[in-house]
Chain A
């Protein structure tokens, strides 16, 4: 069981370049999410997905796209990199079994090791 894996571990981009951060999990979790973490700050939610084919925006979605074609994979695309997107990116997954009125808040999430992205 590999858990949540992320690639690459490190990446340097030039302003305007695009790229995809990969995230995969082998725990059959319905819920997956992407966070960014800036120095001295908490985790801010970028996008999330409650199941294959379903995605939604988090707190800071601008400049990022996601898709969820399978349960296992949840890639994050940077459309046109900007220096403000320099950050550490974490992918996380969890079961969506904490249902209240159809919602499934992921209180217990499993995080990947992170991708350190620098945009120059």
Chain B
């Protein structure tokens, strides 16, 4: 089956570092994407891991380990504008679909 699990909510203070985990139970997939969605807005693409390891894009980094069925999004130097929902997504083998997790709501406090 295909299932992506994320914590429902994470809180942190400005300037801190936060990690949002994504655990998947699926028969296999090609890569892992992350999207950000502010309240009332549309999802926007953040990052994509095609291979195992760490990908860094400014304050955001994303990690993938297929052997551990695990990935995470790391947000550094948190800002108030980072308060949003974050979704991981995978493309299962033998399909051309992108399947999303249920999302993690990040609240950043001053």
Are the C-beta atoms of A41 and B103 separated by less than 8 Å? yes
Chain B interfacial positions (CB closer than 8 Å to A):
4, 8, 30-31, 33, 41-45, 48, 50, 87, 89, 91, 94-103
Decide: A107 and B42 in contact? CB cutoff 8 A: no
Give the complex CA separation of A44 and B97 in angstroms.
11
Residues of B within 8 A of A40 (CB): 8, 102
Once A and B bind, how many residue pairs between them come within 8 Å at the CB atom?
A: 70
| CA gap between A100 and B50 in the complex, in Å | 12
Asked if A108 and B48 sit within 8 Å, CB to CB, the answer is yes
A binding-site residues for B, Cβ under 8 Å: 31, 33, 35, 40-45, 48, 50, 56, 58-59, 90, 92, 96, 98, 100, 103-114
User: In this complex, what residue of B is CB-closest to A4?
Assistant: B42
Q: Which residue of B lies closest to A110 (CB)?
A: B45
13 more CB-based (< 8 A) A-B contacts, given A42-B100, A45-B98, A105-B31: A44-B100, A45-B100, A58-B97, A96-B96, A104-B96, A105-B91, A105-B98, A107-B98, A108-B45, A108-B48, A109-B45, A111-B42, A113-B41
Q: Which residues of B contact A59 (CB under 8 A)?
A: 97, 99
